[in-house]
Chain A
Amino acid sequence: MTDDELDVRLRDHGSSWREVNQDRPGIDWDAVTTGRRPRAWLAVAGVSVAAAAVIIPVALTVGGGSSSRPRPAKHPSPSPTSERAGAPSGFFALHNGFLDYVGLTTGGEGGGHPQHSRGVEVGARADGSVGYGAFPMSGCKTEIDKIALVTDAQHPTGAIIQTTVTTILGGAPVIQSDGLGIAVSPDDTKLAMVLSTVHEVNGKKNCSGPEQLVMVNLVTHAVRRWNGSSTLSYLERLQWAPDSERLAYLAPPLCCHSVAMYRVLDTSAPGSSYSAPPPVLPVFDGHHDFGPVFWWHGQMVATNNDSLYLLNGHGGVGAAVARGFPTHLDSVSSDPTGDHLLLSSGDVTYRWDNGYLSVVKGNWTQPGW
């Protein structure tokens, strides 16, 4: 089959498909403008859970068998100053496609310092002092920049200083979403991100190939890449372990009839496949939706509903160790102590300070400190 023949076949197929698919969706408009959960979803959710299958056996033991009790959610207080003590003073995020540094004040959040470069992926050092942005360049290259907020005699009110770290081959992700972004290792020596592979098509570089996991050494600028497989090509929710060697991520399958799995890759070990490490947790086990896998106070954890659960790394889920989290998290970013987390769920960014949960004003994508 020639390229032209396939082009015609695809056009015919699309035309036939559109002829059959003329139905407009039934929209619950009140739910759209009020934020209320649509009525139909309540019934659908029950059916879905009943019909679901479990791939990894998960034993969920809430509270029992733990030497430490979960940290309860705290009631909002008029002035959560003590809970926020020691938290990063700001975070990095995308806003309308631009990279921002957002300063957090004690009285509330907001008042960003917009960095007018179009960013496609953003990440930050855990203390929130330095951010990294990945920007698409011509020739399927991605430029990685370091962004720091500097306050000195020359810039008494603070200024954003942007410097290029390196430029590497690879295409930027097509959609900016909270699940994607740059993961900065705790020792601040490595970046991990998702890029598309580069192909030569008619002598021109094409940057839309299968996704790679790319690790950049910030000291040597060496780049290491891991590929997926024919059944596993999407990748997101990258999280470094405290040893700055292991990396957790979510790898959804290409086809929609099996469940997405969290895996942990040892980046110091040989190998070139991110689909090779065995799964440590399904995103849905038949009963529970698990949010991003990350490390909290040195232990591997994942969120489910409003709680944080210990993981044993082999599919087992242990005790709840903290509560008071938003549901359906897309991303989690922890400061070095683990006492201050930046979370995103849908459109909303939250901060969690020693059990005190509050909403961060503004619309931020890939928020991180």
Chain B
Amino acid sequence: MEVAVRAVAAPAQDAENFRDWVAPHLLAMSRLATRLTSSADGDDVVQESLVRAWRKRSQYDETRGSAQSWLLAIVADRARRHRLRARPGRELVDLPAPSPDVERSLDLEDAIAGLPRRQRLAVELHYLLGLDVRECAAVMGCSEGTVKSTLFDARARLRGVLKEVDPA
């Protein structure tokens, strides 16, 4: 259930109003952070992103994009930085064999994770977060046409990878 929040147009300079301004976008920020890192690290990335957004709040320019696109662009940058410091050797646990549907999803997830950086961000924003092309363009800092062609290219690459995994 979505929580009703007070609509705030620009990031306020005081802490309470900044919180109100950010609140409607926290779920999207959390989802993108989780997608670009992992569920375990997603909260840390959102926390880091909010610290950065608070420090840079005076630089937000609503004529250049929505609050959500500004915040998601910060999340994407923080996630990249976080991934550089990702710790190897995560603990492995035994899980039951996945069902065919789950296996199919895992193949798709692996294929998405293997995309080049620009293509992966476009796919994550458009398909996984459900943003429209205009919003994706605002987050990525490029034109809508570039987002469309990037998505097309990403799908072409994904088709090739998925064909190798499951020729049938």
Inter-chain contacts of A215 with B (CB < 8 A): none
The interface bits of chain B over 90-116 (1 if a CB of A lies within 8 angstroms of the residue's CB, else 0) are: 110000000000000100100001101
Q: Does B67 contact A (CB under 8 A)?
A: no
Give the distance in Å from the alpha carbon of A196 to the alpha carbon of B142 in the complex. 14
Inter-chain contacts of A173 with B (CB < 8 A): 117-118
Is A51 in contact with B87, judged by CB distance below 8 angstroms?
yes
Q: Does A179 contact B (CB under 8 A)?
A: yes
> Which residue of chain B has the shortest Cβ distance to A136 in the bound complex?
B142
Inter-chain contacts of A233 with B (CB < 8 A): 116-117
Is B30 in contact with A25, judged by CB distance below 8 angstroms?
yes
27 contacts between A and B (CB under 8 A): A3-B159, A6-B162, A14-B128, A14-B129, A14-B130, A24-B30, A25-B26, A25-B42, A26-B43, A27-B50, A32-B51, A35-B55, A44-B44, A51-B89, A174-B117, A177-B77, A201-B149, A206-B149, A208-B119, A208-B149, A210-B116, A211-B116, A256-B83, A256-B86, A260-B86, A284-B88, A346-B52
Interface positions of A from 149 to 205, Cβ below 8 Å from B: 171, 173-177, 179, 196, 199, 201-202, 204
Is A41 in contact with B44, judged by CB distance below 8 angstroms?
yes
The residue that B89 contacts in the complex, of A3, A53, A204, A234, with Cβ under 8 A, is: A53
> Which residue of chain B has the shortest Cβ distance to A282 in the bound complex?
B88
Given A13-B108, A260-B84, A33:B130 Cβ within 8 A: no
Inter-chain contacts of B80 with A (CB < 8 A): 175, 177, 179
Given A1-B162, A171-B118, A174-B121, A51:B30 Cβ within 8 A: no
Is A31 in contact with B149, judged by CB distance below 8 angstroms?
no
Give the distance in Å from the alpha carbon of A174 to the alpha carbon of B77 in the complex. 10
**8 further interface pairs, Cβ-Cβ under 8 Å (given A173-B117, A347-B56):** A1-B159, A17-B128, A31-B51, A35-B51, A51-B91, A202-B152, A208-B153, A209-B119
Give the distance in Å from the alpha carbon of A259 to the alpha carbon of B90 in the complex. 11
Report B107 CB to chain A, min CB distance, Å: 11
Q: Does B158 contact A (CB under 8 A)?
A: yes
5 tightest A-B contacts by CB?
A53-B89, A14-B127, A208-B150, A208-B118, A33-B15
Is A25 in contact with B46, judged by CB distance below 8 angstroms?
yes
Report A16 CB to chain B, min CB distance, Å: 8
Report B90 CB to chain A, min CB distance, Å: 7
> Which residue of chain B has the shortest Cβ distance to A172 in the bound complex?
B142
Q: Does A257 contact B (CB under 8 A)?
A: yes
Q: Does A48 contact B (CB under 8 A)?
A: yes
* Chain A contact residues, CB within 8 Å of chain B: 1, 3, 6-7, 9-11, 13-18, 21-29, 31-33, 35, 38, 41, 44, 48-49, 51-53, 55, 96-97, 171, 173-177, 179, 196, 199, 201-202, 204, 206-211, 230, 233-234, 250, 252, 254-260, 283-284, 289, 328, 330, 346-347, 363
Is B47 in contact with A32, judged by CB distance below 8 angstroms?
yes
> Which residue of chain B has the shortest Cβ distance to A96 in the bound complex?
B59
Inter-chain contacts of A230 with B (CB < 8 A): 114
Give the distance in Å from the alpha carbon of A13 to the alpha carbon of B85 in the complex. 28
Q: Does B9 contact A (CB under 8 A)?
A: no
The residue that A6 contacts in the complex, of B38, B61, B159, with Cβ under 8 A, is: B159
The residue that A284 contacts in the complex, of B76, B85, B123, B153, with Cβ under 8 A, is: B85
Q: Does B134 contact A (CB under 8 A)?
A: no
Is B158 in contact with A6, judged by CB distance below 8 angstroms?
yes
Report B139 CB to chain A, min CB distance, Å: 9
Inter-chain contacts of B46 with A (CB < 8 A): 25, 27
Q: Does B69 contact A (CB under 8 A)?
A: no
Give the distance in Å from the alpha carbon of A164 to the alpha carbon of B83 in the complex. 35
Q: Taking chain A's interface residues, is the majority helix, strand, or loop, or is none over half, making it mixed?
A: loop
Is B73 in contact with A175, judged by CB distance below 8 angstroms?
yes
* Most chain B Cβ neighbours within 10 Å, of A17, A96, A174, A230: A174
Is B123 in contact with A10, judged by CB distance below 8 angstroms?
yes
The residue that B43 contacts in the complex, of A3, A25, A32, with Cβ under 8 A, is: A25
Report A19 CB to chain B, min CB distance, Å: 11
Is A179 in contact with B84, judged by CB distance below 8 angstroms?
yes
Q: Does B138 contact A (CB under 8 A)?
A: no
Is B114 in contact with A254, judged by CB distance below 8 angstroms?
yes
Give the distance in Å from the alpha carbon of A252 to the alpha carbon of B162 in the complex. 23
> Which residue of chain A has the shortest Cβ distance to B92 in the bound complex?
A257
The residue that B117 contacts in the complex, of A15, A48, A204, A234, with Cβ under 8 A, is: A234
The interface bits of chain B over 55-87 (1 if a CB of A lies within 8 angstroms of the residue's CB, else 0) are: 110010100000000000100110011011111
Is A256 in contact with B38, judged by CB distance below 8 angstroms?
yes
Inter-chain contacts of A258 with B (CB < 8 A): 88
Inter-chain contacts of B52 with A (CB < 8 A): 346-347
Give the distance in Å from the alpha carbon of A258 to the alpha carbon of B119 in the complex. 21
> Which residue of chain B has the shortest Cβ distance to A4 in the bound complex?
B155
Report B25 CB to chain A, min CB distance, Å: 10
Given A14-B128, A347-B55, A32:B50 Cβ within 8 A: yes
The interface bits of chain B over 137-165 (1 if a CB of A lies within 8 angstroms of the residue's CB, else 0) are: 00011100010011011111011001100
